[in-house]
Amino acid sequence: MNQKQITIPYHLRSNDKLSDTEQTLVAKAREAAEKAYAPYSGFHVGAAVLLSNGEIVSGSNQENAAYPSGICAERTTLFYANAQYPDASVEALAIIAIHGGEVVPSISPCGACRQVMVEVSYRYNKSYKVILAGKDKSVVLEDNRMLLPFTFSGDDLK
């Protein structure tokens, strides 16, 4: 037996215990969620990133009648942030979802978004904080890479 284990460190914090910056990011993500285009799922997701240049960029999921053509809030936001500010690294990302008028208890990003989130840390050689916000409590991971163990990255292509 040579079983190995991976543990994922995270904090579960009351929203009022988040730092001012974290609360601002969650508020921006929530505003973005309220602008989501999600007529098919009714699942409104918002994301907000803090960049190293101090800018906060937010975005939401954008659905499509041809379902796979839609895109999640995380990728909308990260792609836009990186397109707009290619020289700025990501310092923190907050995500929140609203379903049936209620904030979902801590949204978890899909696999495709986790892969894109990892690519961003690979691109800027810097991991970043992720806040999975719920109504009262949030999951806070100090290192985005923890969300995708056994990552496929640019290193695999060398």
Q: 90-99 and 129-133 as β-strands: parallel, antiparallel, unpaired? A: parallel
Q: Helix, strand, or coil here: 31?
A: helix
92-131 footprint of ligand THU as x/- string (CB under 6 A): ---------------x-xx--x------------------
29 binds ligand THU (CB under 6 A): no
* Residue with smaller CB distance to ligand THU, 22 or 63: 63
d(CA 96, CA 152): 26
CB under 8 Å to 142, separation ≥6 — which residues?
A: 9, 127, 129
List 10, 24, 31, 70, residue binding ligand THU (CB under 6 A): 70
> What does the alpha-carbon distance between residue 114 and residue 66 come to, in Å, rounded to a whole number?
23
Question: Site for ligand THU (CB under 6 A): which residue of 74, 91, 98, 133?
Answer: 74
Q: How far, in Å, CA of 119 to CA of 125, rounded? A: 9
Which range in 17-25, 37-45, 51-59, 131-139 contacts ligand THU by CB under 6 A? Answer: 37-45
Interface with ligand THU, residue 88, by CB under 6 A: no
Count of residues touching ligand THU (by CB under 6 A): 14
> How many other CB atoms sit within 10 Å of the CB of residue 15?
16
DSSP secondary structure string for all residues of 87-138: TPPEEEEEEEEEETTEE-SS----HHHHHHHHHHHHHTT---EEEEE-SSEE
Residue 102 annotated in active site: no
CB of 75 to ligand THU, least distance (A): 8
Exactly one of 10, 43, 79, 80 binds ligand THU (CB under 6 A); that residue is: 43
Residues of the shown chain interacting with ligand THU in the complex, contacts defined by CB under 6 A:
38, 41, 43, 45, 61, 63, 70, 72-74, 107, 109-110, 113
